A and B are shown apart, each in its own frame.
Chain A
Amino acid sequence: MVTLVLPRLVDVSAASRRSASVTERNVAALRSVYWLLLVSGFVEPLLYLLSIGVGVGALIGDLTLPSGAVVTYAAFVAPAMLASSAMTGALAETTFNFFGKMKYMKLYDGVIATPVQPFEIALGELAWAMLRGSAYSAAFLVVMVVMDLTAPARALAAFPAAVLVGFAFGALGMAIATFMRSWQDFDLMSSMQFVLFLFSGTFVPAEAYPAVLRWLVEVTPLYRAVHLIRALTVDTGGWSWTLDVLYLLAVLAAGLLIASRRMGRLLYK
């Protein structure tokens, strides 16, 4: 029994140690210029919240959620901004930066000559993306509490959810990045990202769309993320958010699997 289980355990601890070394590399590479970039990731959703949530919200008034809860428009928009900033932060790191490291810096060509394997690189990069994404989420939740858009206890519950959202999108982005041929392909991805940002029940409840469109919107990952975070921060209705959690976990697993498989194919030439 011991001989069967022990190698596995050693394997897992060695793998996580190796993943951590990839994350550590990114911490070492962090430079002052980069900090400015990090700040922009936090400011962007805040500007949307102020301009549209609060600004446009003043013209719209209150909204009634499917559960019957009545909330201000700002409180409706805020969780969506949190979800999409978790998405944006994770994607920025796992698509652009990851692609650059793999294709142009040839960073991983050096890494695979060590005991570190593609799956561990993917995991390490994802963990790094999440360090960044989680920082955004935490800061944004603080803003939401300060602006009285959610309760402190709800904000605490929403934090791990936002981290999960980041993980799922990070893994998805990494999988997509392995299919990218050049920087031009990223324009397409940015457009897709913007479409998701506009129509995932972010500014308008999905219930407002015609049935077919609504169905389409509800299967997109950002919609599930918005739905999850909104349920935790403002809504009271039901347990349907557990479905979101399962959905995001599935995206995370699939993304990681595809990304590490593809990396293996691209790197072990």
Chain B
Amino acid sequence: MTTGRPLIQARGLVKRFGDFTAVDGIDVEVSAGEAFGFLGPNGAGKSSTMRMVGCTSPPSGGELHILGMDPVRDGPAIRARLGVCPQLDNLDPELTVRENLTTYARYFGIPRRVARARAAELLDFVQLGDRADSKVEPLSGGMKRRLTIARALVNEPDIVLLDEPTTGLDPQARHLVWERLFRLKQQGVTLVLTTHYMDEAEQLCDRLVVMDGGRIVAEGSPRALIEQHATREVVELRFAAESQETFAGKLDALGERVEVLPDRVLVYVSDGDAAVAEVAALGLRPTNVLVRRSSLEDVFLHLTGRTLVD
């Protein structure tokens, strides 16, 4: 889509909490109709960025324009055109499923009749039609998530912000959410999401940035990132009891990069099958061999490291 000015434009955007810098000068542009992802480990600054874009957290520095407006001065006008699905569901526990949507619609000044019609439509969309009169409490995690997504759509937003939309959901629920988000994307809705699921980013995002420690460490389409930061294929080798390092030394010449993990050795190569043949030619006998296409996960781990961050 070519609509000129990007919907979201951030330059040198900073968010500080006291001495702690959560977002450390990032540049981001999101165009209309795009599905844009923020990828990164916990504490990378994804949620802080999302809250600034959602106009519920004033930036500490840098420039931010949403829909061509200033989030601090034009907060209400911008939020009127955003749909926000926060990381933690904050549904109204005193209302029913349906009322959660109709009441929320009223916050946007949507007439009651329209609100009722839209609530019914959205409940069907997220497959909660039969739970319309239930309270929120007894719903499963997946149902609450879907309801929160439906709520984010009640004002027919131009941009939908989804902060970890499928974290904590079982596979069925995740796929249902993905499918609904994909439909929205097809309808031309601009999606901005954060995730630490690589498959989610690969499935949904046209373009994404990888964040680490409040900074952007890589940017591009999922495909481009894989090409840029990983090889075409990855060979995973498991060896029997012996130390993996002794083998790894011999494998160095095989691929562009070799990574030794406690339980297996990863060899990044362009041709996996050829590499496996060479492994055999070297006289090595791994107990388990897996050749796979490299994924965003390889890129992610390469860029942000394997150390656990909380």
Contact = CB atoms under 8 A, between A and B. Distances in A.
B79 A115 contact: yes
Interface stretch (A14-22, A46-54, A140-148, A200-208): A14-22
A107 B106 contact: no
B248 to A, nearest CB: 46
Interface of A: 14, 17-18, 21-22, 24-25, 28-29, 31, 105-107, 109-117, 267-269
Given A21-B109, A28-B99, A269-B51, A114 B104 contact: yes
B92 A105 contact: yes
A113 B103 contact: no
Q: How large is the interface on B (under 10, 10 to 19, 20 to 34, 35 or more residues)?
A: 20 to 34
Given A109-B86, A109-B90, A113-B82, A24 B77 contact: no
Contacts, number: 76
Contact of A112 (B56, B77, B94, B151): B56
A25 B58 contact: no
B108 interface: yes
Contacts of B107: 18, 21-22, 111, 114-116
19 contacts: A17-B109, A18-B107, A28-B99, A28-B103, A29-B92, A106-B90, A107-B90, A109-B90, A113-B82, A113-B84, A114-B80, A114-B107, A115-B75, A115-B77, A115-B80, A115-B109, A117-B75, A268-B56, A269-B17
Nearest to A21: B106
Contact of A29 (B17, B79, B90, B95): B95
Given A109-B86, A112-B56, A113-B54, A14 B91 contact: no
Contact of B79 (A14, A21, A31, A114): A114
Nearest to A110: B90
B148 to A, nearest CB: 9
Given A115-B77, A115-B80, A18 B109 contact: yes
B76 interface: yes
